[in-house]
Amino acid sequence: MNIKKILPQLLTLLVVILIFGFFSYNAQVNMENRGITFGYGFLSQESSFDVQFSLIEFDGSHSYFRAYLVGLLNTILVSVIGIIFATIIGVVVGIARLSNNYLINRTAGVYVEFFRNIPLLLQIFFWYFAALRALPLPQDTEPMFGVFFLTIKGFFVPAFIWNNLDIFIYSIIAAIISIIFIRIYARKKQENEGIQTPVLSISIGLLIILPLLSFLFGGVDASVEVPVIKQLSQSGFTYEGGIKLPPELISLALALSLYTATFIAECVRAGVQGVSKGQKEAAASIGLTPNQVLKLVVMPQALRIIIPPTTNQYLNLTKNSSLAAAIAYPDLVLVFAGTALMQTGRAIEIVSITMLTYLSLSISISIFMNWYNKKIAIKEK
């Protein structure tokens, strides 16, 4: 090794270490001067505040660590919902932009230009307060299908109450495993004998029949709990029973997916347009139907262009979900970097944990998408 090559690297490393050292030393001295102690022990203390919506059981008697989990799960929940809807809307709009129909094409174009050019925070406020203004009070709500109640206090949906839920879940897992085996078998059969198996209909059939069998023979039983209106005061009502989705979650998921979908739509459009015309013409000339052209020739190539920039959009959506604090959706920032930080005053500890958490979330999404990208990349044989 050449010393001329190593020396600059070492010096850079030294400078970085010195900078970090300076800042942590500085923080330590300042905190000592103001009588602030440092430590993560507070995580096991009783949190003594409540949260309006959580996926796991939580109240003030639980620890700050559990409050952190509540916030984290809520962040993941809204991100997953947002990613699913953003992808669906994005793909539809992206393909619509390529349509030969002028109206569809223009509508998609206007949607993209409109939603991606307005700051996200404004859109979140718009959807939240628009929802609050537009939604009826609980007592004025017209039920949808008799069991869904969309009100200003939230979207109340029926809940299932299960007996032997585990057997039901096993039956679904069994169905999924058998589908995987059938797919492998079908592919081999096609490669060896050239015969296509109707995999899709078999899969759907399995997914319906196996869980149904668990109902008939496995002792699985589900009853539905429908929300019931409850009077709180002379003018105030709410619903009891069932599952409640707060309006904050609905409007945040809506704003995030509508905003991110515009970027995904552009990725999809670019991806499809990136496949050269000759490919489609060649596919058509060997007698593939338009559907097969899209499925077997265009999409596999387009996906390779679409995936990497779409990964970025998924990361953005996850990070943007931290704007939740503005409209009272109890995500990681509101619960942990908000209330918990305020009650404990442990700014450095809590902000560092929050930063690490977002970093890990982003890296996990990134790793998964990279894996998927590699899987669909051209495999040279």
Partner 1 sequence: MFKYLKQLTSLVAMVAVLFTFTTETMAAKKSKTLKNTQKKGFVRCGVSQGLPGFSNADAAGNWTGVDVDVCRAVAAAVLGDANKVKFTPLSAKERFTALTSNEIDILSRNTTWTLSRDADIGLTFVGVNFYDGQGFMVRKNSGYSSVNDFKNGISACTNLGTTTELNMRDFFNSKGISYEPVTFEKADEVVAAYDAGRCDTYTTDKSGLAAQRIKLSSPDDHIVLPETISKEPLGPVVRQGDSVWEDIVRWSLNTMIEAEEYGVTSGNADSMKTSDNPAVKRLVGAEGELGAALGLDNDWSLRIIKQVGNYGESYKRNIADTGILPDRGPNELWTKGGILYVPPAR
Could you list the residues that contact partner 1 (CB under 8 A)?
Answer: 31, 33-37, 48-52, 59-60, 129, 132-133, 137, 152-153, 230, 232-236, 238, 240, 246-248, 325-328, 330, 334, 338-339, 341-343, 345, 347
Q: Which residue's CB is nearer to partner 1, number 127 or number 263? A: 127
Q: Give the list of residues 6+ apart from residue 106 with CB closer than 8 angstroms, or none.
A: none
Closest CA to 334 of 63, 67, 42, 55: 67
State the nearest-atom distance from the C-beta of 254 to partner 1, in Å.
Answer: 16
Q: Which residue's CB is nearer to partner 1, number 214 or number 339? A: 339
State the nearest-atom distance from the C-beta of 22 to partner 1, in Å.
Answer: 14
Tokens of 88: 């669906």
Cα–Cα distance for residue pair 117/161, rounded to 1 Å: 44
State the nearest-atom distance from the C-beta of 224 to partner 1, in Å.
Answer: 20
State the nearest-atom distance from the C-beta of 236 to partner 1, in Å.
Answer: 5
Cα–Cα distance for residue pair 43/2, rounded to 1 Å: 49
State the nearest-atom distance from the C-beta of 80 to partner 1, in Å.
Answer: 23
Whats the size of the chain, residue-wise? 381
Phi, psi angles (nearest 5°) of residue 145: 55, 20
State the nearest-atom distance from the C-beta of 38 to partner 1, in Å.
Answer: 11
State the nearest-atom distance from the C-beta of 7 to partner 1, in Å.
Answer: 19
Q: Any idea which residue has 């998921």 for tokens?
A: 253
Cα–Cα distance for residue pair 3/142, rounded to 1 Å: 78
Q: Which residue's CB is nearer to partner 1, number 236 or number 308? A: 236
CA 22 to chain centre: 38
Tokens of 131: 């929802």
Q: Are strands 243-245 and 154-157 parallel, antiparallel or unpaired?
A: antiparallel
Q: Which residue's CB is nearer to partner 1, number 137 or number 367? A: 137
49, burial (CB in 10 Å: exposed 0-12, middle 13-18, buried 19+): middle
In the chain, the amino acid numbered 374 is: K
Q: Which residue's CB is nearer to partner 1, number 317 or number 333? A: 333
Q: Give the list of residues 6+ apart from residue 328 with CB closer than 8 angstroms, or none.
A: 52, 248, 334
Q: Which residue's CB is nearer to partner 1, number 302 or number 337? A: 337
Closest CA to 239 of 341, 337, 148: 148
Q: Any idea which residue has 């929300």 for tokens?
A: 227
State the nearest-atom distance from the C-beta of 86 to partner 1, in Å.
Answer: 25
Tokens of 67: 């409050």
Cα–Cα distance for residue pair 338/200, rounded to 1 Å: 47
For the chain, helix (H) and strand (E) counts, in that order, are 13, 7
Q: Which residue's CB is nearer to partner 1, number 172 or number 325? A: 325
Q: Which residue's CB is nearer to partner 1, number 91 or number 132? A: 132
State the nearest-atom distance from the C-beta of 91 to partner 1, in Å.
Answer: 34
Q: Which residue's CB is nearer to partner 1, number 93 or number 249? A: 249
Closest CA to 164 of 227, 86, 220, 105: 220
State the nearest-atom distance from the C-beta of 14 to partner 1, in Å.
Answer: 19
E-only strand ranges, the chain: 149-151, 154-157, 159-163, 221-225, 228-231, 237-240, 243-245
Q: Which residue's CB is nearer to partner 1, number 123 or number 262? A: 123
